[in-house]
Amino acid sequence: MADRAELPPSLVRNPELDQWLTIDAEATVTLRTGKVELGQGILTALTLILADELGVEPVRVRVAVTRTGVAPNELVTAGSMSIEQSGAALRQAGAWARRLLLAQAATVLDADVATLDIADGIISAPGGNQTVSIWELQGGRDFGTTIDELAPERSPTEHRWVGRGMLRVDLEPKLRGAGVFLQDLELTGLCHARVIRPPGPNHRLARFDRSRIEREPGLLGVVVDGSFLAVLAESEYDAIRIAGRASAAARWHDAERLPEVADLSAYLVANESAAFPLREGVPVEAEVPPLTWPLGARRVVAEYSRPYLMHASLAPSAAVALLNLDGHLTVWSHSQGIELLRGCLARALRMDTDKISVVHTAGAGCYGHNGADDVALDAALCARALPGRPVMLQWTRQQEHQWEPYGPAAHVRMEAALDERGRICGWSHDVWGFTHMGRPMPGGDGLNLLAAGHLAEPIPRAVPRPALRAEVGIHRNAWPIYALHAPRVVKRFVADSPLRTSSLRALGAHANVFAIESFMDELALAAGHDPVEFRMNHLDDRRARAVLERVVALAGGLDCPSPGTGTGTGTCTYTKPSRGRGVAVARYKNQASYAAVVVQVAVDPDSATISAEQVWIAADAGQVIDPDGLVNQLEGGAVQSLSWTLKEAVEFGRDGVTSTDWDSYPILRFSEVPEVMTVLIDRPEEPSLGAGEATQGPTAAALGNAVFAATGLRLRDLPMTPERLRRTAAGPGDA
């Protein structure tokens, strides 16, 4: 038996072949995965992988609903790891099933197993006279086999669908307006609930005058548990209307206000922090090495920052919960981690885990850990008040904006030295940030579900701790991709965040790559080198070099072809219409996909508005499974990053978050999106790499570099709003 450590981690956790697939009775194959569709197209890619490996047409593959206790447990759909984890597991499951089916067929057909293969579920004896189908052999029956070694997989040359792709399996029903989202669930006896949140993060309910809503038509119940307040009603609009009345009937104690934060960077740097130097990308508990520089070297210093950002899902988070009369609780959720949620619900509700099922149901895109898990507890608390009836609870838009766990702010201080030939001879990167690890975890000392802290017997949030694994959280992509001598990289973990934070797509990679790749342009300028040439001079990784070369070729270089062009030398003004291009490159987590991005901006002198006109992307995700799905993820990541980088900041005062809707938290609109062109470097011989978070960092830096090319103004603090551009142009001390 081979070493189980060679098996994909998802198979080590879920080794039974029947956990992954079933050869159905009716000429179809059921695929089971613990990863969930978030709009990223994962179910399409997994379908392609299994179809090819087993030997059936993709239309025969049906994806089962992901439900706790039934689907393989793959923890969380996050970190751009679904292809690497679930894809690897399903490929092995397909290879195992094929091997077992061919062995059976060899007996039935009295043929040498080495001469047999499966083509759309049919196995033919040599000569083709005798055939047997996998449905005849195995239809509707379990394999009863444990995967304990690697089965031989098909070579890329045998793939018919992997690398070619297909139309998204989930798209047509969405285009037809079929009720496929959780918010559309229709269950017998379904009723609706709304939660009434405290006016600020620390307020406690003082008094609730129930009599003021008791006669409201449609009211089914009121839940008051500590400071958790919710109303249940027959229809959704009844719930909305009554929640409005209930809000007016609630009185709250005065609460401790949030700290005064005029400048997030200053707050991060001044606050108590724990420092961890990185060794080859891994934070260690050790003395922070002092800054030392070669004698006579030229030093360059720059500091960068990003604010808190919102996931800002287009749909407010929602869940449906049903407490059966036998005491079993079923929760329909768009959580990224239904098994973790199940364990956390059990803790919050003080129930046995096996008395709870969580069924994944599609939500709007979440881009990380948003309110999905929190609202599941809200709905469950309401369902307990009305056993036997399913209760749907959706947050309001304002609640989503004000209560979701935000992507944390960060501050980055870069310092480097250049030798006389203009090569980097010293490198330092300090990154300050709050935790990105806010997901609810069943173990540990606290519970990261919002309402758990509001209950009469509250369970507080887990104390944030610095994550010290490679490439997570604050230090994701802090380690440079460049071949540098003894880089000094320090993670500085600030525990005390004014706002609740968790994982937002790309985690620390957005701020760190923005800083590194902006800084590389600043160093290139200081060295008097072209930005691309300067990068190439320090880049050994051939795949990184390849995407950088490809993207520059795709864009036709970094000079703008049209009049009003910035030349890259910078004019330190935006008083004339100007254009510029910038480039950046990174490998996500220094272990997933490579992406290089060129952005072209136009700067309008009257409004000081920066517009992204064109984006070019070159990416290497190893073996490509679904080319268009991959392009879609890379493009979407780039557009979302443009929105973050140009426009977004969670604003808050001492009484809470003031970014409460789309007017106070604007995001990129149709009139503002650029044209995007993407090329893929397919490497069928290399493992497939996650790509959903590959372009956010490079896009942010390419944008800043393009603004510099257009105006000579270096924007180091995000977002790059007109106000920021004006202040930067006004000069130091003000910016």
Residues shown for the chain: 735
> Cβ of residue 364: shortest distance to other proteins, in angstroms?
4
Considering beta carbons, is residue 172 or 445 the nearer one to other proteins? Answer: 172
CA–CA separation, 626 and 84 (whole Å): 13
Considering beta carbons, is residue 312 or 583 the nearer one to other proteins? Answer: 312
Considering beta carbons, is residue 105 or 676 the nearer one to other proteins? Answer: 676
> Cβ of residue 198: shortest distance to other proteins, in angstroms?
20
**Residue 8 has which token pair?**
């994909």
The strand pair at 424-433 and 488-493 is best described as: parallel
Considering beta carbons, is residue 123 or 598 the nearer one to other proteins? Answer: 598
Q: Is the dihedral of CA 710, 716, 721, 726 positive or negative?
A: negative
Tally of CB atoms within 10 A around 532: 19
Considering beta carbons, is residue 180 or 224 the nearer one to other proteins? Answer: 180
> Cβ of residue 186: shortest distance to other proteins, in angstroms?
8
The three-state DSSP-derived secondary structure of 467-502 is CCCCCCHHHCCCCCCCCCCCCEEEEEECCCCCCCEC
Identify which of 194, 202, 223, 76 has the alpha carbon closest to the alpha carbon of residue 461. 202
Considering beta carbons, is residue 176 or 542 the nearer one to other proteins? Answer: 176
Contacts of 656 (CB under 8 A, 6+ apart): 199, 200, 201, 258, 402
> Cβ of residue 168: shortest distance to other proteins, in angstroms?
5
Q: How far is CA 379 from CA 206, 332, 359, 706, in A?
A: 23, 10, 14, 46
Considering beta carbons, is residue 46 or 474 the nearer one to other proteins? Answer: 46
Q: Is the dihedral of CA 35, 37, 41, 44 positive or negative?
A: positive
CA–CA separation, 175 and 639 (whole Å): 22
Please report where in the chains the tokens 């517009």 appear, as a residue: 611
Identify which of 395, 352, 343 has the alpha carbon closest to the alpha carbon of residue 374. 395
HSE-up of 724 (CA within 13 Å, CB side)? 21
- Say if CB 18 and CB 144 are below 8 A apart: yes
Considering beta carbons, is residue 77 or 124 the nearer one to other proteins? Answer: 77
Considering beta carbons, is residue 165 or 283 the nearer one to other proteins? Answer: 165
> Cβ of residue 615: shortest distance to other proteins, in angstroms?
8
Considering beta carbons, is residue 286 or 314 the nearer one to other proteins? Answer: 314
The strand pair at 656-657 and 652-653 is best described as: antiparallel
> Cβ of residue 545: shortest distance to other proteins, in angstroms?
27
Helix ranges (H only) for 191-324 are: 236-248, 264-270
CA–CA separation, 428 and 302 (whole Å): 11
> Cβ of residue 709: shortest distance to other proteins, in angstroms?
22
Q: What is the DSSP letter of 226?
A: T
Considering beta carbons, is residue 497 or 695 the nearer one to other proteins? Answer: 695
The strand pair at 329-333 and 356-360 is best described as: parallel
> Cβ of residue 455: shortest distance to other proteins, in angstroms?
27
> Cβ of residue 41: shortest distance to other proteins, in angstroms?
7
The strand pair at 61-63 and 29-31 is best described as: parallel
> Cβ of residue 700: shortest distance to other proteins, in angstroms?
14
HSE-up of 565 (CA within 13 Å, CB side)? 10
Contacts of 347 (CB under 8 A, 6+ apart): 442, 447, 452, 459
> Cβ of residue 509: shortest distance to other proteins, in angstroms?
16
> Cβ of residue 344: shortest distance to other proteins, in angstroms?
24
24 phi/psi in degrees, rounded to 5: -75, 170
> Cβ of residue 502: shortest distance to other proteins, in angstroms?
17
Considering beta carbons, is residue 464 or 629 the nearer one to other proteins? Answer: 629
**Residue 154 has which token pair?**
């098909």
CA–CA separation, 255 and 515 (whole Å): 37
Contacts of 640 (CB under 8 A, 6+ apart): 367, 505, 668, 696
Tally of CB atoms within 10 A around 178: 10
The letter for the amino acid at 375 is V
Considering beta carbons, is residue 364 or 583 the nearer one to other proteins? Answer: 364
CA–CA separation, 347 and 299 (whole Å): 53
Considering beta carbons, is residue 190 or 255 the nearer one to other proteins? Answer: 190
Considering beta carbons, is residue 267 or 403 the nearer one to other proteins? Answer: 403
- Say if CB 143 and CB 157 are below 8 A apart: no
> Cβ of residue 644: shortest distance to other proteins, in angstroms?
10
Calculate the CA dihedral of residues 22, 27, 31, 37 and round it to 10 degrees.
Answer: -160
The helix (run of H) or strand (run of E) holding residue 333 is strand 329-333
> Cβ of residue 363: shortest distance to other proteins, in angstroms?
8
> Which residues of the shown chain bind other proteins in the complex (CB under 8 A)?
38-41, 167-168, 170-172, 174-181, 183-184, 186, 235-237, 240, 312-316, 362-365, 367, 394, 396-397, 628-629, 632, 635-640, 643, 661-663, 667-671, 673-676
